[in-house]
Amino acid sequence: MQMPVLFVAGLAFVIGLERTFRFFFQKHKMKATGFFLGGVFVVLIGWPLIGMIFEIYGFFLLFRGFFPVVVGFIRRVPVLGSLLNLPGIRSFVDKVGESNNMV
- pTM flag (> 0.85): no
Q: What is the pLDDT of residue 46?
A: 92
Task: List, for residues 39-62, the tens digit of each pLDDT value.
Answer: 989 998 999 999 999 999 999 898
How far, in Å, CA of 27 to CA of 13, rounded? 23
